[in-house]
Amino acid sequence: MQITPLAPSCGVEITGVQLADAAGATLEAVRQAIYAHGVALLRGQVLSPEEHIAFAQRWGGIDINDYFPLTEEHPEIAVVRKREDQQTNIGGGWHTDHSYDQVPAMGSILVARVLPPAGGDTLFAHMGAAYDSLPDDLKAEIEGLEAFHTADHIYASDGVYAQTDMGGDLRGQGMTTGATHPVAIRHPVTGRRLLYVNPAFTVNIVWRSRADSRPLLDRLFAAAMDPAHQCRVAWEPGSVAIWDNRTSWHYAMNDYQGHAREMHRITLSGEALAA
């Protein structure tokens, strides 16, 4: 197995591994690379839906997504799809999945199934690098603070997606979500300090109004969006990306209008987060 950085601060490409067979020490090495670097890209994978599920089960628990369409034969697999006639895509902004859950998902295993002829890359940003880049006074300011996360404004029947051509494809519009997490967490495995807020789902600092929270959140978001913390995953047939939601943000580029894109995602169970 060979691990090569995708960028100085974020992401790796792993070669010499077939995920359909990965177990034991090989799986553990893949895990540790993702925990540390945020995302791993593996190319040349031959992974059936059944093998996709089996690999996820070897990793740990599977969380069923409440919003995305599910495959009929395999409800563990969420379909991240944009038809050629749609303008809106899923995930077209910086976010980390499931931060609106009190026990957020660890991460995801995303398999490319249908790709446009060009475009549709995914950007990732490393939240450890983002935290390290904060000035000392800002680190001191956020120490001990918690933030409230919700998806209601995104997925509700009157939410962001409902106003677009993607709204009819999604589920769970009647759900109510909400969770509180530290603004800066410690990774439960590596122990690294990580920034844990994101523009999609973090709406306010606890005990502050949204308006009063905006200046601080905007400073943190701007630090996290620094291109120095980012990497780009360029998809091709046979590509699989696995990422850690605690360590990274991601952003699905919507630059392939007139073409379809379909990815199959399994969400990996996580654990409660702590400062």
Neighbours of 195 (CB within 10 A): 26
Catalytic option among 187, 250, 261, 264: 250
Name the β-bridge partners of 136: none
Neighbours of 213 (CB within 10 A): 20
Report the alpha-carbon distance of residue 70 to residue 59 in Å, rounded.
Answer: 21
Buried b (16+ CB within 10 A) or exposed e, 84-99: eebeebbbbebbbbbb
3-state secondary structure of 240: strand
- Is 250 tagged catalytic? yes
Catalytic option among 97, 101, 169, 244: 97
Catalytic option among 37, 95, 149, 181: 95
95 touches 200 (CB < 8 A): yes
Report the alpha-carbon distance of residue 39 to residue 251 in Å, rounded.
Answer: 13
218 touches 205 (CB < 8 A): no
- Is 132 tagged catalytic? no
Token pair 């960028």: residue: 7
- Is 153 tagged catalytic? no
- Is 97 tagged catalytic? yes
The catalytic residue positions are 95, 97, 250, 265
